[in-house]
Amino acid sequence: MRKNKLHNFKYQNLQGGHTFDFGKNEIELKHDLPEILFVTSFPPRECGIATYSQDLIKSLKNKFLNSFNISICALESDNEKHKYQEEIKFKLNTDLSGAFANLAKEINLDKNIATVMIQHEFGFFAKREFEFQQFLVALEKPIVLGFHTVLPNPNISLRFNVNKIAAESKSIVVMTKSSMKILVQDYGISEEKIVIIPHGTHLVEHLDKDLLKLKYDLKGKKVLSTFGLLSSGKSIETTINALPAIIKVNKNVMFLIIGKTHPSVFNQEGEKYRNMLQEKVTALGLKENVRFVNYFLPLPDLLEYLQLTDIYLFTSKDPNQAVSGTFSYAISCGCPIVSTPIPHAMEVLKDGAGVIVDFGNPPQLSKAINKLLKSKTLRKNISSVGLHSMAPTAWENAAIGHARLFQKVAAKSIDLEYKMPEINLNYLKKLTTEFGMIQFSIINEPDINSGYTLDDNARAMVAMCMHYEKTNNHADLAYIKTYLNFITFCLQSNSRFLNYVDESKQFTEQNQETNLEDSNGRAIWALGYLTSHSDILPQELVLEAENALEFAISNVLEIYSSRAMAFTIKGLYYRNKKNKNLSDIILISQLSNRLVQMFLHESEPQWNWFEGYLTYGNSILPEALLCAYLITDEPIYREIAKTSFDFLLSKIFTKNTINVISNNGWLHRGEETKRVTVGGEQAIDIAYTIMALEKFTNVFEDEQYQLKMEIAFSWFLGNNHLHQIIYNPSTGGCYDGLEDTYININQGAESTVSYLMARLTMEKGILENIIQPKEPKKIAIKYEVAETL
């Protein structure tokens, strides 16, 4: 039985068998969850797999709630015994005869354990290889085996042993395509049994490089670095031997050697290797250019060192090293990489994501480094390509991959419930200048050269009003004022808005080349939304919005774009929620009647829609008619709203996923069965769908709308066709698009604000609508109190 701190309301899950009383400080979950047992080395043991397992387990716990429990069996030996900060269920001393058999009995007797995940490295079980094999045979639970080393061209004995342990495993996890290829071709293991889940990497906000260099006494230095537990296999002497040729061209170079000596190496030979490196540094006169950081660094410190690095060096001399977490971490921190050709590097650093040099070749290494140090543009380009290539490897995505695998192989049924992220305004604030919200970003750096748009600032004002309503945080008011000022700046003397403004605060020619009706509608929606909060917002803001809105709607009947009319209806609906105005109601009716006529003209028995195709922002149309009904009580608005919305939902929802209409290809009437477009999905369409679902849930009290809200929001969290996150919890930004084979990791204004509107709508929707589906759920989202403001 577990306890979690959650929001302050009462909520009963009718199917899951647990009640949440959010009015109290704690809740109790009354059902037993399947348990995943990790058999692995674990901190404070100092080894790469221990750190890997800690990061993976942490990510699983952060990503999912009420899905499964995780327990740990820590691998130890006579020379490796530790006191653990985290709860350890079992310990396995791999040097002890009989320990494997005893552990197998305990696991088999534990009814809660549904899967055993074993992190495998040959060195862990070298002394008790047979006992380890018998341990696998004795286990009565499904086994997932994670291979951290996959050796090519095995001899007969190695091939036999690997096949023996593979045969006892329900599934095998490897981190690279090359490892999978070796297992299939060299070992004859079925490809169907193997799953590729790349080594996880940490999402980082990318702090200022110069400030970090100042912090670590590296001001003015061009920093080369390498990190990891020190051993001769890392061939760090290759870089030291290359340094004289580098310093000849770049005198301000500093090479950081980060990490203490590997404990196993230290036990065998002490600091022999480090001493050899230090002697070489002295002999070559490099003391002012080399710094040893002889610590096993905490993760935050390590990530800062990597972010200040100008070039990361990976010089392993082992051609069979299957994977390196070190350069994966370096790429995720934006480091250009120079690496020897281990299989992992050959796979990851292709297409301009890094530079490959031969093993043990100092002249080649120095030439590559000097070329990179000469060109900041080249380093930046390699960094950008690397960041895009590593996006799928975020620990959040590794957690999703493992959770889906556990769901597939576990002895007990697992329903995945995504944990709701904290509300985080950091990136929205980063996008906002004193003038307004910047339109685009290059990864997570706002691009002022992209200028500003009315569209983004209108949506941002809606989002911040939503946030202020939830939190009453007076810091929000300055941002609301900024966005309102931008909207009124765009309002012209003819009562129309312009949309595009450059970085110099000048309207661009694009305003003359683009139909701006939709932008005008969005501005009216945002102004109306602000006025609906007149009871909590400062009156000067409300009055300014009222005046702008009144002027903007003076010629609104000249607008005929369906979505512009829908946004206008929404804006007038919000202005009239508390105090109805006859002239506004007349306008709402006139615009709504146009939408009704469009529907009656275009709809057919199998096509209940306003147009002969579905494009972008589709849910705005039925939502607008529902808003019109709530103001006018006109039943035809309600009827068509529901009919058209249900039709739309039937085209974009499957049982447990959402696939909004793609901008790679609209859905035309008569082509429904031919729809095969994958990718081109935008956060804004998900957000608009969630906002519409919330209104339909309120009006119709249909629990299926509530379920679809949860399914739709889980798209941001990884429930999409790539099974990757769209929302970045580190920055608070949202990626710009879900494509067919990749995520566009630029975090622009539209996607970031769309996510925030969706997140705040989920908060509001769950609070107002305590409805649960009658059928068992495969996708669910749970909330925990925590907010970053």
Query: What are the pLDDT digits (tens) for 680-721?
Result: 899 999 999 999 999 999 999 999 999 999 999 999 999 999
| Confidence check: pLDDT of 24 > 50 | no
Confidence of residue 28 (pLDDT cuts 50, 70, 90): very low
List the beta strands (DSSP E) in 575-656.
613-614
Residue 13 pLDDT > 80, yes or no? Answer: no
Report the range of poorest mean pLDDT among 450-454, 620-624, 658-662, 663-667.
663-667
Q: Average pLDDT for residues 207-215, to the nearest whole number?
A: 94
Mean pLDDT, to the nearest integer, of 271-284? 95
**Contact indicator for 37, 410 with CB cutoff of 8 Å:** no
More confident residue, 319 or 647: 647
pLDDT of 229 above 50: yes
Residue in 75, 73, 65 with CA at minimum distance from that of residue 45: 75
pLDDT in tens, 505-518: 999 999 999 999 99
Asked whether the predicted pLDDT for residue 786 surpasses 90, the reply is no
pLDDT at 388 over 70: yes
Residues 6+ apart with CB under 8 A from 403: 60, 63, 64, 67, 68, 414, 416
The answer to whether residue 773 scores a pLDDT higher than 50 is no
Q: Is residue 113 pLDDT above 80, yes or no?
A: yes
- For 544-560, how does the pLDDT look when each residue is reduced to its tens digit (9 = 90+)? 999 999 999 999 999 99
Least confident of 65-69, 464-468, 592-596: 65-69
pLDDT given at position 3: 33
Q: How confident is the model at residue 587 (pLDDT cuts 50, 70, 90)?
A: very high
SS3 content of the chain, % helix, strand, coil (to 5): 50, 15, 35
The per-residue pLDDT for range 180-202, each reduced to its tens digit, is 999 999 999 999 999 999 999 99
The CA-to-CA distance between both ends of the chain, in Å, stands at 32
In the predicted structure, residue 772 carries a pLDDT above the cut 60: no
Residue 784, pLDDT > 50, answer no
Pairing of strands 69-76, 787-788: unpaired
Contact 720, 726 (CB under 8 A): yes
**Average pLDDT for the chain:** 90
Given a cut of 60, is residue 540 above it in pLDDT? yes
3-state secondary structure of 770: coil
Say how many C-beta atoms besides its own lie within 10 A of residue 19's C-beta.
14
Tell me, rounded to whole angstroms, the distance of Cα 5 from its chain centroid. 23
Q: What is the dihedral of CA 495, 630, 755, 723, to 10 degrees?
A: -140
Q: Which range among 204-213, 263-272, 471-480 has the greatest average pLDDT?
A: 471-480
| pLDDT the model gives residue 528 | 98
Rounded mean pLDDT of 30-59? 91
Which DSSP helix (H) or strand (E) runs through 469? helix 454-471
Give strand pairing partners of 788: 424
pLDDT tops 60 at residue 2? no
Which pLDDT belongs to residue 49? Answer: 94
Q: Which residue has the higher pLDDT, 633 or 3?
A: 633
pLDDT at 664: 80
Tokens of 579: 């105090």
Give the pLDDT confidence score for residue 676 in this predicted structure: 62
Cβ 495 vs Cβ 554: under 8 Å: yes
What's the rounded Cα separation, in Å, for the pair 789 and 442?
A: 23
For residue 672, what pLDDT band results from cuts at 50, 70 and 90?
confident
Question: Percent of the chain, pLDDT > 90?
Answer: 81
Higher-scoring residue by pLDDT: 14, 108 = 108
Place 14 in a pLDDT band, splitting at 50, 70 and 90: very low
Average pLDDT over every residue of 740-744: 94
Q: Is 302 helix (H, G, I), strand (E, B) or coil?
A: helix
Confidence band, pLDDT 50/70/90 cuts, at residue 327: confident
pLDDT at 19: 31
Q: Which of 10-14, 52-56, 131-135 has the lowest mean pLDDT?
A: 10-14
CA distances from 586 to 511, 583, 593, 685, 728 (A): 30, 5, 10, 29, 43
Of the pLDDT bands very low, low, confident and very high (cuts 50, 70, 90), residue 26 is: very low
The pLDDT value recorded for residue 97 is: 85
The answer to which of 19-23, 312-316, 347-351, 670-674 has the lowest mean pLDDT is 19-23
Across 398-436, b (16+ Cβ under 10 Å) vs e yields bbbbbbebbbebbebebbbbbbbbebbbebbebbbeeeb
